[in-house]
Structure 1
């Protein structure tokens, strides 16, 4: 029987389980150049989902660190340039940042930019494939002022 069944649980909220439902964690490691480097990681994310054998569910991607972010967009040179120019207007490199006054690491702007987009993204998948639009890719933007080895954690839930 494949119906949802409540687990025996002493809390007031039932925990639901279903045969075949799993939660798996995968990683993507990527080297970035910093300084607003924008990279398409759609293929790597899809590969991680395919490795699990799950057919239907959601994948949450989370970038570790406070100077990079994740989002989706059409990954093409014009939009990549437009996005870079937008962030320079919103949080310019050469503006005065309290973070810089405290730490003297020159990357106050990168923390602000990353905070505007956020560190995570959740995407449903069906029949083993993410439900992205035709021109929609998953991108990482590394706003830091130096290159870094970045780690993206994927938590894949489904059946």
Structure 2
């Protein structure tokens, strides 16, 4: 298992495909799958076409689903302001399994693995990688 750490801004979408690909290559395995897990409950991982428009569209659309500034019962529990962040993370998900063959991730031409910070502030995001 390997852990990666990234400093991320609020609503930042980051391409982590190169780091995951390097981990697969260093594993020495030719075929299998890699688990990608975002540690924490306000981050998420998924795949998408990593381009400027979608980097803006995804956080904007998630704000429609779980708007910042609304009342969330979570705020009463911890006296904080990131209830929307937890909802967004739960909807997108915190883990992903990606197959690989010949030491290469099996991804579409325009498909990248992305890490998203949905928290209401900058965060240090940790990602766990594990070969299955």
**TM-score, normalising length from structure 2?**
0.96
Give 1:88 deviation, angstroms: 0.9
Q: Secondary structure at the match of 1:66?
A: coil
Equivalent of 1:92 in 46, 67, 84: 67
Q: How many residues align?
A: 132
Root mean square deviation, CA, Å: 0.9
- Provide the C-alpha distance between the structure 1 equivalents of 2:55 and 2:88, rounded to a whole number of angstroms: 15
Relative CO higher for 1 or 2, CA cutoff 8 Å, sep ≥ 6? Answer: 2
After superposition, residues 1-159 of structure 1 pair within 5 angstroms as: 25-33=1-9, 35-157=10-132
Consecutive unaligned residues of structure 2, counting only runs of 5 or more, are none
- Provide the C-alpha distance between the structure 1 equivalents of 2:18 and 2:44, rounded to a whole number of angstroms: 17
Structure 1 or 2: more helix by fraction = 2
- Provide the C-alpha distance between the structure 2 equivalents of 1:39 and 1:125, rounded to a whole number of angstroms: 21
- Provide the C-alpha distance between the structure 1 equivalents of 2:25 and 2:4, rounded to a whole number of angstroms: 14
**TM-score, normalising length from structure 1?**
0.80
Kept in 2: contact 1:28–1:45 (CA 8 A):
no
Q: Secondary structure at the match of 1:45?
A: helix
Give 1:102 deviation, angstroms: 2.0
- Provide the C-alpha distance between the structure 1 equivalents of 2:95 and 2:112, rounded to a whole number of angstroms: 14
